[in-house]
Amino acid sequence: MSEYPPFHFEYRINNKLLPGITPGRIFAHRAGYFEVFSKGTMTPETTVFDKPGMISPAGRQNEYVKEVLGKHKQTFAKYQFIMGILWGDVETKEEVADIFGFRGIPGWPGNPEVDSMVFRNGIHVPNSAIGCGDGLVLLGAFEQTRRTTKSLSDFMSSYPSHSNFPKELEGIHGTTYLTEV
């Protein structure tokens, strides 16, 4: 494991800010952050953007989340909420979003059915391997938290309790509430 925790940022999708978009949370993983999302223009050592059109990896991740949500909003419409992991595949140089759709919750908190989807460079890739151990730890912690909440809106503003807080989340240093896709 690197010296940094694997996750560094969270995107929240609030259907009051984005009517018609399925609510959810997407977490940015450090895998491929510089190698893929900077498109080779930035490294951990360079933080100056001195070329026209140069975008930071964080800026590109933000754009990619919006692209996936906007392009596939009908796919996500059948879910009560989504959770996702955003990462870069260093070998293929592809931007990847692993999305988990939660549905079939008869009464909150219930026991949801979960579908998994992989998007590579914005394209849905059916029957693709999904996720990693870091992502499973994160999803497990949030599922334990969800079961203690009163409603979806309560869950969307909750974090795992201190006693259940996985070290994988310690590096999250910001949250963006998406207002457009």
For the chain, 181 residues long, the average pLDDT of each consecutive 10-residue run is: 65 74 88 77 51 69 89 93 93 94 93 95 91 86 92 87 58 59 57
Residue ranges of domains in the chain? 7-177
pLDDT at 160: 76
> What are the φ and ψ backbone dihedral angles of 168, each rounded to 5 degrees?
-60, -20
- pLDDT score of 134: 85
| Distance (Å, whole) CA 76 – CA 65 | 13
| pTM of the predicted structure, to 2 decimals | 0.83
